[in-house]
């Protein structure tokens, strides 16, 4: 079997989620490439070494440029903060490596476009880890929509709610808290959380035409962990926006880190002429489905337990009725990526697909500042 030599940059939350996927995919999917955990890169040699031992990486680098220069690496996986995505991706593309990159693609569309151009010029396979597409219930929603079961779509409604930054004592910047530092993250909940909602929405319901948004930074100043000084907070703590899709449907999107009681409540609902769909990350193995064409007396919301062999991906796991979880979405995405290498169809979302999401985020943030409707430029013309 052909080997695929992986070099991972970043060993935090996503470094673990990806490493788990690299190790598991071949056990559950029939792959014709053998992933090899060749090297992991982090700035702290001892901590990176400890990660390498725990997850089975053969070697360690402390400078991502050295990782990219290695001839024994085929694929660079970017699992570090957003401000590093562009430089690593462009260097990896120039070196002819395949690239997997965490979301959001970049801090903004300008950076994202440069990444797209570099990857496409080099002709290297590329994909962004918008992993929610590969949760079986979400993939099932996509199948139902593509089969035309909803008919004309009128509404799309998405939320992503958390509550971990309510205290004014939470600092910004540095390890674990780079998400609060706008220079590193690019934006707050828009790029971190709404980007997921937007990616799913573009996939399920097609392109967004225009948006109007309100954003807020509730806590204006926080101590910066790297400088030790109290500094202005530049991220959006909360964002709500209205959108018009190109298919004529209307949408509301909302995200905040100030919704007391919610840890990671990602939900979406789609209302069509014949049917509606609802999904909730806290109950991720279920899809709620309402079919108006059912006999009237029996009509009602169905709660589909997405665990049967004919549900997306589920035939690869256990027996019907036994559910899987969050980490499996990464296994599925990596398995799909490997499968795509032998075909002409790229695994999606590609960098260019993710640029479309980036453009929506940019338009949302712009509208949040000027209070106007903003047109979303097309990155693709199709999704």
Ligand X SMILES: NC(=O)c1ccc[n+]([C@@H]2O[C@H](COP(=O)([O-])OP(=O)(O)OC[C@H]3O[C@@H](n4cnc5c(N)ncnc54)[C@H](O)[C@@H]3O)[C@@H](O)[C@H]2O)c1
Point out which residues bind ligand X (CB under 6 A).
9-15, 41-43, 64, 79-82, 84, 102-103, 129, 131, 176, 192
Enclosing H/E stretch for 365? helix 351-370
Complex with ligand X: residue 13 or 301, whichever CB lies closer: 13
Q: Residue 93 or 281: which CB sits closer to ligand X?
A: 281
Shortest Cβ 175–ligand X spacing (Å): 6
Smallest separation, CB 220 to ligand X (Å): 23
**Residues 200, 131: Cα–Cα separation, whole Å:** 9
Residue at shortest CB range from ligand X: 12
The H-or-E segment that residue 341 falls in is helix 327-341
Nearest distance, CB of residue 64 and ligand X, angstroms:
5
Residue closer to ligand X by CB (options 192, 336) is 192
Least distance between ligand X and beta carbon 51 (Å): 8
Closest to ligand X by CB, 85 vs 286, is: 85
Question: With respect to ligand X, which residue has the nearer C-beta, 9 or 275?
Answer: 9
∠ CA 95-96-98, rounded to 5°: 120
CA atoms within 13 A of residue 352's CA, in its CB half-sphere:
16
CA distance 329 to 350: 16
CB 45 within 8 A of CB 111: no
State the virtual CA torsion across 307, 151, 382, 97 in degrees, nearest 10. Answer: 0
CA distance 10 to 15: 6
Minimum distance, C-beta of residue 347 to ligand X, in the bound complex (Å): 15
């Amino acid at each position: 079997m052909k080997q695929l030599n992986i070099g991972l940059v970043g060993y935090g939350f996503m470094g673990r989620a990806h490493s788990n996927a690299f190790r598991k995919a071949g056990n559950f999917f029939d792959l014709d490439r053998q992933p090899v955990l060749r090297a992991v890169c982090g700035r702290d040699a001892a901590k990176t070494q400890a990660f390498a031992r725990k997850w089975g990486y053969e070697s360690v680098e402390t400078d991502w440029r050295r990782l990219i220069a290695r001839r024994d690496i085929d694929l660079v996986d970017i699992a570090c903060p957003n401000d590093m995505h562009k430089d690593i991706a462009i260097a990896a593309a120039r070196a002819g490596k395949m690239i997997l990159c965490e979301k959001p693609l970049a801090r903004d569309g300008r950076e994202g476009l440069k990444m797209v151009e570099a990857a496409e010029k080099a002709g290297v396979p590329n994909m962004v880890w918008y992993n929610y597409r590969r949760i079986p219930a979400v993939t099932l929603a996509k199948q139902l929509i593509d089969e035309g079961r909803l008919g004309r779509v009128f509404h799309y409604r998405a939320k992503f709610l958390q509550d971990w930054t309510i205290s004014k004592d939470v600092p910004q910047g540095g390890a674990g808290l780079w998400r609060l530092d706008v220079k590193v993250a690019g934006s707050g909940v828009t790029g971190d959380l709404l980007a997921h909602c937007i990616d799913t929405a573009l996939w399920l319901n097609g392109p967004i035409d225009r948006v109007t948004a309100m954003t807020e930074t509730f806590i204006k100043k926080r101590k910066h962990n790297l400088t030790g000084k109290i500094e202005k907070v530049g991220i959006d703590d909360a964002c709500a926006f209205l959108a018009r899709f190109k298919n004529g449907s209307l949408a509301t999107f909302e995200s905040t880190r100030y919704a007391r009681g919610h840890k990671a409540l990602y939900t979406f609902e789609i209302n069509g002429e014949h049917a509606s769909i609802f999904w909730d990350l806290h109950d991720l193995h279920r899809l709620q489905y309402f079919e108006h064409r059912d006999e009237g007396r029996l009509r009602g919301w169905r709660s589909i337990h997405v665990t049967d062999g004919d549900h997306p991906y589920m035939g690869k796991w256990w027996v019907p009725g036994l559910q899987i979880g969050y980490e499996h979405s990464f296994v599925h995405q990596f398995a799909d990526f490997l499968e795509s290498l032998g075909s002409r169809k790229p695994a999606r979302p590609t960098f260019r697909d993710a640029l479309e999401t980036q453009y929506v985020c940019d338009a949302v943030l712009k509208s949040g500042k000027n209070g106007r409707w903003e047109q979303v430029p097309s990155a693709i013309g199709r999704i």
